[in-house]
């Protein structure tokens, strides 16, 4: 193997640049030429590749987002799009590919691998819903951003004796909501993994006030059946009966921005470097992830075929601590 490519795909996550840096510098140290592919799979199809050296990735480890960019690529979901991508890889004489991203990105990666091209994935998504890694790049930073927002809202909620609802990202996975809710001392946590009746949420808030609390705070995952918008609508419709309304804060994409924390920089460096080593050692069609605090590889076919689930003991802990 003499030449490899690296791309970032899907939603950006804090630490992606650290992973790019690790791929490039490990590749150079191994005597490889490393080509950065702009704008994910769409850039791959369009042949947007450039040679990168150690100096090209200097000063990016602390930057959020991805210097390679990311873009949606509907064409890549077709046979024609994947064949065009493979032609470009062959045209640039790329011998192996590193894909940094989450579920959708690794599904595309597995499709290329299935066609016989050497690929390795790097687990990166703030949702932490990717099978094959206990925690993925970007999660720790996003979690701490959510926690800071929760702490700030609790201060103002106490000042005005109000009930606040905080919606965090995570798509259909409640990991960020669960962990930020526990760490932030939320009165209730609403998850996609569990059906929760708004009336129960109302009882929780009423109980908190009856115990003499000066505020009540609910953390909800964006993918829950009753997300922020649904809960606000429900409480507004039943305000007279319930006796109070909710104020909502939707954190949104602020969780994906900003500088990555130390944990994500180190995790990204470990996984990015491990991905290159896997290619050099002839281990293809795998995802580099963190399993029981060790860097491990999991077959991409296994990654895309399985759904990562929340730890039921942690869910039970949240209910005890509410």
Whole-number Cα distances in Å, 58 to 54, 219, 279: 7, 38, 23
| Residue of 12, 56, 127, 140 with catalytic role | 127
**Stretch 85-91: mean pLDDT, rounded?**
97
Picking from 263, 265, 175, 257, the residue whose alpha carbon sits closest to that of residue 224 is 175
Question: Rounded to whole angstroms, how far apart are CA atoms 87 and 46?
Answer: 10
Question: Rounded to whole angstroms, how far apart are CA atoms 94 and 83?
Answer: 15
Predicted pLDDT of residue 243: 64
Size (the chain), residues: 322
Q: How confident is the model at residue 251 (pLDDT cuts 50, 70, 90)?
A: confident
Domain boundaries, the chain: 3-138+260-305, 141-257
Predicted pLDDT of residue 253: 82
Whole-number Cα distances in Å, 278 to 72, 79, 119: 27, 27, 9
Predicted pLDDT of residue 72: 81
Residue 209 has pLDDT above 70, yes or no: no
Strands (E), the chain: 3-8, 33-37, 49-52, 96-101, 119-123, 163-168, 188-190, 216-221, 247-250, 286-291, 294-299
Least reliable range by pLDDT among 2-11, 102-111, 252-261: 252-261
Give the whole-number percent of the chain exceeding pLDDT 90: 71
Predicted pLDDT of residue 319: 87
Question: Rounded to whole angstroms, how far apart are CA atoms 124 and 10?
Answer: 9
Residue 29 has pLDDT above 90, yes or no: yes
Kindly report, residue by residue over 33-43, the tens digit of the pLDDT.
Answer: 999 999 999 99
Neighbours of 196 (CB within 10 A): 18
Fold of 141-257: Rossmann fold (3.40.50)
Residue 19 has pLDDT above 90, yes or no: yes
Which are the contacts of 178, defined by CB distance < 8 A and separation ≥ 6? 189, 191, 221, 310, 314, 315, 318
Predicted pLDDT of residue 213: 65
**Stretch 252-256: mean pLDDT, rounded?**
81
What pTM, to 2 d.p., does this model score?
A: 0.93
What does residue 206 show for φ and ψ, rounded to 5 degrees?
-60, -40
Annotate 176-190 with b (16+ C-beta within 10 A) or e (fewer).
bbbbbbbebebbbbb
Residue 293 has pLDDT above 60, yes or no: yes
Instruction: Answer whether 3-138+260-305 and 141-257 agree in fold.
Output: yes
Helix, strand, coil percent values for the chain (each to nearest 5): 45, 20, 35
Residue 127: active-site member? yes
Taking the CA atoms of residue 200, residue 314, residue 12 and residue 248 in that order, the dihedral angle to the nearest 10 degrees is 20
Query: What letter does residue 172 receive in the DSSP assignment?
Result: T
Least reliable range by pLDDT among 91-105, 116-130, 229-243: 229-243
Q: How many helices (H) and strands (E) does the chain have?
A: 12, 11
269 touches 29 (CB < 8 A): no
**Stretch 182-195: mean pLDDT, rounded?**
91
Predicted pLDDT of residue 148: 93
**Stretch 221-243: mean pLDDT, rounded?**
82
Select the more confidently predicted residue: 146 or 197: 146
Mean pLDDT across the chain: 91
Region 3-138+260-305: CATH code? 3.40.50.450
Kindly report, residue by residue over 277-290, the tens digit of the pLDDT.
Answer: 999 999 999 999 99
Q: With H, G, I as helix, E, B as strand and everything else as coil, classify residue 226.
A: coil
Q: How confident is the model at residue 55 (pLDDT cuts 50, 70, 90)?
A: very high
List the beta bridge partners of residue 99: 7, 121
């Amino acid at each position: 193997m003499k030449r490899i490519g690296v791309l970032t795909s899907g939603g950006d996550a804090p630490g992606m640049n650290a992973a790019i840096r690790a791929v490039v510098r490990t590749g150079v140290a191994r005597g490889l030429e490393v080509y950065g592919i702009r704008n994910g799979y769409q850039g791959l199809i369009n042949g947007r590749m450039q040679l990168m050296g150690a100096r090209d990735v200097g000063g990016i480890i602390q930057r959020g987002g991805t210097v390679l960019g990311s873009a949606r690529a509907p064409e890549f979901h077709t046979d024609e799009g994947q064949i065009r991508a493979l032609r470009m890889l062959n045209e640039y004489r790329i011998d192996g590919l590193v894909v940094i991203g989450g579920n959708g990105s690794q599904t595309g990666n597995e499709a290329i691998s299935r066609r016989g091209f050497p690929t390795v994935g790097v687990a990166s998504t703030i949702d932490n819903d990717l099978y094959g890694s206990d925690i993925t790049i970007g999660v720790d930073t996003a979690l701490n951003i959510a926690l800071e927002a929760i702490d700030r809202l609790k201060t103002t909620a106490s000042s005005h004796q109000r009930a606040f609802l905080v919606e965090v990202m995570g798509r259909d996975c409640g990991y960020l909501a669960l962990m930020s809710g526990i760490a932030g001392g939320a009165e209730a946590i609403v998850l996609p993994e569990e059906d929760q009746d708004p009336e129960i949420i109302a009882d929780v808030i009423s109980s908190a006030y009856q115990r003499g609390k000066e505020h009540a705070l609910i953390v909800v995952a964006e993918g829950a059946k009753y997300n922020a918008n649904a809960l606000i609508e429900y409480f507004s419709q039943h305000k007279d009966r319930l006796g109070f309304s909710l104020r909502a804060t939707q954190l949104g994409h602020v969780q994906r921005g900003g500088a990555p924390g130390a944990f994500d920089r180190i995790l990204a460096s470990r996984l990015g470097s491990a991905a290159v080593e896997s290619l050099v050692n002839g281990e293809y069609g795998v995802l580099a992830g963190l399993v029981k605090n060790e860097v491990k590889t999991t077959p991409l076919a296994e990654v895309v075929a399985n759904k990562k689930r929340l730890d039921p003991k942690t869910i039970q802990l949240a209910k005890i601590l509410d």
